[in-house]
Amino acid sequence: MDAVIENLPTYWRGFSMTLLLLGVSGISALVIGTIIAAMRISPVASLRAFATVYTELVRNTPLTLVLLFCAIILPYLGSRLEYQVAAMIGLSVYTSPFVAEALRSGINGVPVGQAEAARSVGLGFGQTVGMIVLPQAFRMTIPPLINVFIALTKNTSVAGGFFVFELFAAGRELANANGDAVIAILLGVATLYLVITVPLGVIAGQLERKWVVQR
Amino acid sequence: MSGPSVLFDVPGPKARRTSLISSIVAGLLILAGLGWIALTLAAPRQSGGITLPGFFDPTRWNIFADPQVWSFIVFQGVVGTLSAALTASVFALILGVVLSLLRSSETAWIRVPIAVVLEFVRGMPVLLMMLFILLVLNTGAFWAVVAALSLYNGALIGEALRAGLASLPRGQREAGLSLGMRPLQSKMLVEFPQAFRQMLPIIVAQLVVLLKDTSLGFIVGYTELLRVDMNNLGSFYGNRYLFSLFVITLALYLTMNLSLSWFARWLSKRTASKSSGKRLDPTDPGQAMLEAAAAARQSAAP
């Protein structure tokens, strides 16, 4: 326990880097994922095909491989990125297909009857999408999106294996430095991860419960 | 929302032509982008006054003509990855069955602590668990990888099975009990087989995740495909082969994962046509789990 309290600054340094990774890659994954989801439902066939292949390939590549590419192969190919930025890029790319799928499943979850009803009372395309479909799709995508972010939080730990000093790397360093208090130190790291993931999980479960009953 | 045809009128000849033209233009742009990447990689590069060959030059790929390299990749790397994944998936399945039974137990003394432990395991990164087992229990890299993967995926499979159990119609259990079965008998003989079959696509999809996660062994020092290719072969043959080795590794991983994913999808189609239940999307276990849990809650509410 003393080892944990003594090393609180190191914990904090790691934790803030984890939060930074989570924030930046979360937002950029949201942006890329939205673009991919839009391509996936667009009437242009070649964009649709590209988005499908992208989703399938990225989703079946292990995250370790993606981050290894960003941290080791990219500098070898001549990039001058810092390791943190490389890790952020890797995490965003890896997370984006999951975001796209969550968005797509939300839109697919709106019953066709809703759109048919809107069309049959004379609403146009913009009105149907903007007033009927998207408001319903939005709340169906929030719980899956939160789940994606929980997974992203846990995935940031992989960046710790590729030269980024975040929570996992901090834990590993502290465990090596304090061989007599490994259990306490690693439990401290676990607690900090749970501080992020458990509240998010509770929110997702509650929203899911609330909104599923209303349908 | 099946197809955009509901949202707007059927496109006329003009709209169809516009969409065809934009499809061709976008396709050409994508191809041009890919071509640019390929050309950049293929171009010879300058480094410190020396001209190095491009990345598709035969001198960067000649090690793959040696059958010894391939046997090393397959017998050390692929076998290492697959043996960890297979061992872990067997343990994860057993653990999942046990945890789902304990989690849906009638006794609060068993149910509540298991729920807390499950929540704890699901909220933690697998990598941290691997490190914990490696440092604290001192098991060696293989068992650290296997134990962490079994624990994490066992918790998720257990949760999926529990959702499957909970979403069964209540009549199944009542019928079992009315025939004179004990609660555990009815659970094992009547309810469990149905829940397992319904959740099979999710379980297989979770096993794809498990296979992908074996690559985390790279970080804790287990010799699997990634470590064999990038560390062992990479340092043996030198940096000039790093890119080629990466491409081969990626191709091998994609082959393994895609075939397992397609199997999961095929399985889900097959089971869907037999049972009348709602088809769960097997490509994203997290997503499918949410739906299953919601269905379970809905059927639990009177």
Position of tokens 């609403």? A123
Classify residue B27: in a domain, yes or no: no
Please report the residues numbered 4 through 63 in chain B whose beta carbons come closer than 8 angstroms to any beta carbon of chain A.
4, 6-8, 11, 19, 22-24, 26-27, 30, 41, 45
Read off the CATH number of the domain in which B74 is found. Answer: 1.10.3720.10
A182 residue type, one letter: V
- Whether B279 has a pLDDT exceeding 50, the answer reads yes
A201 at B interface, C-beta within 8 A: yes
Please provide the distance, in angstroms rounded to a whole number, between the alpha carbons at the two ends of chain A. Answer: 49
> In terms of CA atoms, which chain B residue is nearest residue A213?
B298
B5, two tokens: 């045809």
State the pLDDT confidence band at B290, using cuts at 50, 70 and 90: low
* CB environment B145-170: b (16+ within 10 A), e (fewer): bbbbbbbbbbbbbbbbbbbbbbbbee
Domain assignment of residue A87, given as a range = 2-214
- CATH for A65: 1.10.3720.10
Mean pLDDT for B258-284 is 71
Residue A72 host element (H or E): none
Which tens digits make up the pLDDT trace of A134-185?
Answer: 888 877 888 889 989 999 999 999 999 898 999 999 999 999 888 888 999 9
CB < 8 Å to A77, chain B: 41, 243
Q: What is the pLDDT of residues B162-177, one digit of tens each?
A: 888 888 888 888 999 9
Residue A187, helix vs strand vs coil: helix
User: Which of A37-41, B153-157, B190-194 is predicted most confidently?
Assistant: B153-157
Grade residue A205 by pLDDT with cuts at 50, 70 and 90: confident
pLDDT greater at residue A41 or residue B183: B183
The answer, yes or no, to whether residue A89 has pLDDT greater than 80, is yes
Distance from CA of B172 to the nearest CA of A (A): 24
The answer for B 207-226 residues in CB contact with A (under 8 A) is 208, 212-216, 218-219, 226
* Under 8 Å between Cβ of B263 and B274: no
- pLDDT tens-place string over residues A54-63: 999 999 999 9
3-state secondary structure chain B: CCCHHHCCCCCCHHHHHHHHHHHHHHHHHHHHHHHHHHHHHHCCEEECCEEECCCCCHHHCHHHHCHHHHHHHHHHHHHHHHHHHHHHHHHHHHHHHHHHHHHCCCCHHHHHHHHHHHHHHHCCCHHHHHHHHHHHHCCCHHHHHHHHHHHHHHHHHHHHHHHHHHCCCHHHHHHHHHCCCCHHHHHHHHHHHHHHHHHHHHHHHHHHHHHHHHHHHHHHCCCCHHHHHHHHHHHHHCHHHHHHHHHHHHHHHHHHHHHHHHHHHHHHHHHHHHCCCCCCCCCCHHHHHHHHHHHHHHHHCC
Beta bridge partners of B46: B51
For the stretch B28-51, pLDDT in tens is 999 999 999 998 888 887 777 777
Determine, yes or no, domain membership for B280: yes
Q: Does the residue B266 lie in any domain?
A: no
Asked, for residue B182, whether it belongs to a domain, the answer is yes
Distance CA B155, CA B151 (A): 6
* Chain A interface mutation, best of B135, B208, B255, highest count of A Cβ atoms under 10 Å: B135
Radius of gyration of chain B (CA): 25
Which residues lie below 8 Å from residue B182, measured CB to CB, with a gap of 6+? none
Q: Is residue B34 part of a domain?
A: no
Cα(B203)–Cα(B268) distance, integer angstroms = 11
Q: Are B226 and B249 in contact (CB under 8 A)?
A: yes
Does B265 fall in a domain? no
The pLDDT value recorded for residue B276 is 45
Number of domains in chain B: 1
Asked whether residue A115 carries a pLDDT value surpassing 80, the answer given is yes
Domain that holds residue B203: 66-222+273-300
Residue B253 lies in a domain: no
d(Cα B228, Cα B239) in Å, to the nearest integer? 14
Which stretch of DSSP H or E encloses residue A47?
A: helix A45-59
Confidence class of residue B105 from pLDDT cuts 50, 70 and 90? confident
Overall domain count for chain A: 1
Cα distance between residue A211 and residue A207, in whole Å: 6
Output the average pLDDT for chain A: 88
Q: How far apart are CA A160 and CA A174, in angstroms?
A: 13
Q: Is the ipTM of this complex over 0.90?
A: no
Within-domain flag for B279: yes
Which DSSP letter does residue A133 get?
Answer: I
